Chains A and B, each alone.
Chain A
Amino acid sequence: MSNRKFAAVAVVLALALIAASRLVTNDYYFSAAYTVLQFVILATAWNILGGYAGYVNFGSAAFFAVGAYSSVFLYKAVNPPLIVMIVAGALVAGLLGLAVGYLTLRMRGVFFAIATLALAVVLHTFVVNWDYVGGARGAYILQPRDLPFGLKRYIHVLFGAMVLMTAFALVVARTIETSAIGRGLAAIRDDELAAECAGVPTLRLKILAATVSGALMGMAGTTFPYYLSYVEPSAAFNLSYAVNSIAMPLIGGMTSWLGPLLGAVLLGTVQQVVQVTVSSEWNLLIVGVLLVVFVTVAPNGIMGWIDAWKRRRRK
């Protein structure tokens, strides 16, 4: 399927999903779906740098929080429409991604991962001390009263926005994956020096991947303040974002756009179910157990498992 066709299908499916959601009366489902979709974006975005290029970013929470706090800032400053906040947050997080892209010049492997984790800590400290956006106290954000398209609750708006953003992220990831850029990134993941010596402009591609990845993660965070109506640094910079956005592609499979989607839907849904039926404390434990299981049983994730099964069948 060509990328243009895929984009059309993704948009149609997203709109269909939004239309179908009008039949759902229990608002909890919107809230749960919102969270799962948010993780689909985070996982998809993380995978562009982590899966395609092999640079493990441990600072997903920083990008997510930059998106969230850019919305808080805009809310306090001019209170623009949601779409402006989404675009602005993505741009700011993209700039941060650009900076991280330059980090890859000197660091790789575990050193790169530690540097990105440090970035999250630094930004966290910065936000805690930035009074304008609420500092350590956090900030209250009021959801707008006027709702478009005759929607009844603001969570419906947020859900719709999240569905469209998810479709956008998946289209971007798939476009990169199937283009020359994706091939180049795969070569970098396999052997960066050999890639450079095969003519791949490695630095340029890594910076591009880091920027796009960062922008998409930031985008996922832009609606977060409205979702909770209250943002505090420890919520926006929560380690679970970093852990989940690594675990989900790992479980789903890191070499294609479908892997993070599968991993995030699976893991995100299990977490939501457990949160309601058992306890919210169990979430990270589940992630941990599933990670251990997958790393030992299916190191290439669900997609790797499917590929191996297909190959066996062909023989």
Chain B
Amino acid sequence: MEAAAQEVSEPLLQVSAVTKRFGGFTALDQVDLAVAPGERLGLIGPNGSGKSTLVNCIAGTLRNDGGSIRFKGRDLARDPAFKRVHLGVARTFQIPRPFASMSVVDNLRIPLLYSGGSRVTLDTNKATDEAMHILDQVGLSAKADAMSGGLTQVDMRKLELARAIAAKPALLIADEAMAGLSASEVDDILALLFAMKERGVAVLMIEHVMRAVMKFSERIAVLVAGRKIADGDPQAVVANPEVIAAYLGQ
């Protein structure tokens, strides 16, 4: 089901035969996945299917036991997580992890300072302007000076996204950015992710909220029990009998 166009142009991210084992349990089994520059890819699968493990392997917070992960043609095997962020892979966390002792705007200074490409110096107006601009986009500018630890769930999700955007990624991995949010909140976050397209940023969306995934994705990949069972056009994928069986049981 691999889209033909993918094989012609060089993908931004190329995951090849990635395997990850935890003791005797194989969380990822020979998973292949490609993301083209600027593409919007949805990754779905039941709980425990290995979605987050795959994200962790791509982001470098877990090391894959087999296979390779290439980004912009570079093998990431030796790169620690922070280096991958510098290269252009940014992620959000399923459970928000704000820098709780810092204000919202200071949260953004960290990626701006450390992975903003052209390194911005500390506390300059430029850094503040940039941070405020991003907060504007995610709708958090009114809370710029609030302590990030006291934000509401939806605001923390937005902060997660803002922090990832501040790292100026070429690939943004949104790990269940919408779980537990109301319909209008989901729309807020979706609009934000759509806006990434204009920046030429590819988005890998891991999501359980099917409405969001279907609306957002140009392509959907399905993981079940650590294996990719489908990959292609969203409508075709959700009509795939194997996918239906995996979700509803047989």
The answer to whether residues A199 and B97 also contact, given A183-B109, A193-B61 and a CB cut-off of 8 A, is no
The answer on a CB contact under 8 Å between A202 and B114 is: no
**CB-defined contacts of A178 to chain B, threshold 8 Å:** 122
Kindly report which residue of chain B lies nearest to residue A182, judged by CB atoms: B122
Number of B positions contacting A (CB below 8 A): 28
Whether B11 is near chain A, meaning CB under 8 Å from some CB there, is no
The answer to whether residues A198 and B102 also contact, given A179-B122, A193-B61, A193-B97 and a CB cut-off of 8 A, is no
Kindly report which residue of chain A lies nearest to residue B149, judged by CB atoms: A190
B101 in complex: contacting residue of A194, A198, A255, CB < 8 Å: A255
Binary flags per residue of A118-143, CB closer than 8 Å to B gives 1, else 0: 00000000000000000000000000
**CB-defined contacts of A24 to chain B, threshold 8 Å:** none
CB B231 to nearest CB in A, in angstroms, measures: 26
Binary flags per residue of A198-227, CB closer than 8 Å to B gives 1, else 0: 111111000000000000000000000000
A194→B100 CA distance, assembly (Å): 11
The answer on a CB contact under 8 Å between A194 and B114 is: no
Binary flags per residue of B94-132, CB closer than 8 Å to A gives 1, else 0: 000111111000100111011100000010000000000
Number of A positions contacting B (CB below 8 A): 22
Whether A186 is near chain B, meaning CB under 8 Å from some CB there, is yes
**CB-defined contacts of A27 to chain B, threshold 8 Å:** none
A199 in complex: contacting residue of B85, B100, B106, CB < 8 Å: B85
Whether B59 is near chain A, meaning CB under 8 Å from some CB there, is yes
The answer on a CB contact under 8 Å between A197 and B85 is: yes
A90→B38 CA distance, assembly (Å): 52
The answer on a CB contact under 8 Å between B167 and A194 is: no
Binary flags per residue of B68-91, CB closer than 8 Å to A gives 1, else 0: 000000000000111101100011
Kindly report which residue of chain B lies nearest to residue A188, judged by CB atoms: B99
The answer on a CB contact under 8 Å between B122 and A191 is: no
CB B175 to nearest CB in A, in angstroms, measures: 11
**CB-defined contacts of B93 to chain A, threshold 8 Å:** 193-194, 197
Whether B157 is near chain A, meaning CB under 8 Å from some CB there, is no
**CB-defined contacts of A184 to chain B, threshold 8 Å:** 110, 113-114
**CB-defined contacts of A203 to chain B, threshold 8 Å:** 80
The answer on a CB contact under 8 Å between A195 and B99 is: yes
A191→B102 CA distance, assembly (Å): 11
- Which of B61, B110, B113 has its CB near the most chain A CB atoms (within 10 A)? B110
The answer on a CB contact under 8 Å between A199 and B98 is: no
**CB-defined contacts of B115 to chain A, threshold 8 Å:** 198-199
CB A127 to nearest CB in B, in angstroms, measures: 37
CB A253 to nearest CB in B, in angstroms, measures: 12
A56→B101 CA distance, assembly (Å): 18
The answer on a CB contact under 8 Å between B80 and A183 is: no
A197 in complex: contacting residue of B61, B98, B122, CB < 8 Å: B61
**CB-defined contacts of B82 to chain A, threshold 8 Å:** 196-197, 199-202
Whether B163 is near chain A, meaning CB under 8 Å from some CB there, is yes
The B-contacting residues of A in range 135-193, CB under 8 angstroms, are 178-180, 183-184, 186-187, 189-191, 193
CB A242 to nearest CB in B, in angstroms, measures: 25
The answer on a CB contact under 8 Å between B81 and A186 is: no
- Which of A178, A197, A203, A255 has its CB near the most chain B CB atoms (within 10 A)? A197
The answer on a CB contact under 8 Å between B167 and A199 is: yes
**CB-defined contacts of A191 to chain B, threshold 8 Å:** 97-100
The answer to whether residues A196 and B101 also contact, given A184-B110, A187-B110 and a CB cut-off of 8 A, is no
- Which of B61, B114, B166, B167 has its CB near the most chain A CB atoms (within 10 A)? B114
What are 25 sample pairs from A and B whose C-beta atoms fall under 8 A apart? A180-B114, A183-B109, A183-B113, A184-B114, A186-B102, A187-B102, A187-B110, A190-B100, A191-B97, A191-B98, A191-B100, A194-B93, A195-B110, A196-B82, A196-B85, A197-B85, A197-B93, A198-B85, A198-B114, A199-B82, A199-B85, A199-B114, A199-B115, A199-B167, A255-B101
On B, residues with C-beta under 8 Å from A are 59, 61, 80-83, 85-86, 90-91, 93, 97-102, 106, 109-111, 113-115, 122, 163, 166-167
Since A191-B97, A198-B85 are in contact, a sample of 4 more A-B pairs with Cβ atoms closer than 8 Å, ordered by chain A residue number, is A184-B113, A190-B101, A198-B110, A199-B167
